Amino acid sequence: MGKMIAVWGSPGSGKTTLSVKLAEALYNRSRGKNSVIVVFTDIVTPSIPVVFPNFRAEDVYSIGTVLSKPDFFADDVVSNMVMAKDRMNIGYLGYKDSENSHSFPEYNEGRAKYLYDILLGIADYVIVDCMSLPDANNLTKVALENAEQKVILWTPDLKSMSFRMSQLKTFDSRGYMKERDFLVMNVARQEFELAAADAVLHLGKIDVTVPYCVALTEQYMEGVLFEPLKDKKFMQAIKAIAERTV
């Protein structure tokens, strides 16, 4: 069985980007031998069009198609993954452009758990890019309840701090916060760099700080987030997260 890693944090904290780059780090750590699946749970702002905006329509699939089937199996899941041609051991599942919560029939927690069980049976690592609010959908809720490891992201800005103060007690009371969680401060934007040191005083324990990366911003703008990133300082931080999750 594989290992589930839930990536969760405040809105705009870089969950999707970190999930993609964490998959890259885990893939590279095994020199391409380990298989990694990334699940994008966002149904409000689908991530597939963000990560693969230049892919042809016929090469892009939807996790909603899988969940809406009366019965589905490993072959159904694999056939609906988006793949990067040069790295066949990394697969991506998520919602496509124009899809939202009304596009497919509702599914329960048991169905989400069944999907994750299938994924964990065919991959060494399943990285779940969670929505910020656990009740946003059952893919997020089930991942936060069952993940062996959680990577929690904060950014050094007032919006992230406000979200943390507002929601943290609720999440803690529901059992989502664990001592083994890996806490990450992500300097997602260049203007956040000066505030990073002060933010640590408010956040407390931080395991890793992911620095702002110009090359990552360029990848985002070009629509090639799934491609390898050569920025050593940034990838060193991602590798530190990967080492904690193995």
* Each residue's pLDDT tens digit, 160-200: 989 988 888 888 888 887 778 899 999 988 888 877 777 77
Measure the CA–CA gap between 239 and 245, rounded to whole angstroms: 10
pLDDT above 80 (res 140): yes
Is-above-0.85 flag for pTM? yes
- Which residue's entry shows tokens 């980007």? 17
What are the tokens at 55?
A: 């892919």
Radius of gyration of the chain (CA): 17
Helix and strand totals (H; E) in the chain = 10, 8
Q: Which pLDDT score is estimated for 107?
A: 96
What φ, ψ does residue 116 adopt, rounded to 5°?
-65, -35
Three-state SS for 37? strand
User: Domain boundaries in the chain?
Assistant: 3-151+214-240
For 42, phi and psi rounded to 5 degrees? -65, 120
Query: Which long-range contacts (C-beta less than 8 Å, at least 24 apart) are formed by 170-178?
Result: 171/134, 174/134, 175/145, 176/8, 176/134, 176/144, 176/145, 176/150, 177/152, 178/150
What three-state secondary structure class fits 149? strand
Q: In what order do the strands lie in the sheet with 182-186?
A: 82-84, 87-93, 36-40, 125-129, 3-9, 149-154, 182-186, 208-210
> Above 80 in pLDDT, residue 201?
no
Q: Is the pLDDT of residue 93 over 90?
A: yes
pLDDT tens, 24-62?
999 998 887 899 999 999 999 999 999 999 999 999 999
> What pLDDT does residue 174 have?
83
State how far the alpha carbon of 52 is from the alpha carbons of 72, 177, 225, in Å: 25, 32, 8
- Which residue's structure tokens are 């991506």? 92
- What local confidence, expressed as pLDDT, does residue 55 receive? 95
Which helix (H) or strand (E) is 84 found in, with range?
strand 82-84
> 3-151+214-240 sits in which CATH class?
alpha beta
Report whether 30 contacts 243 (CB < 8 A). no
Exposed/middle/buried for 77, CB within 10 Å: 0-12, 13-18, 19+? buried
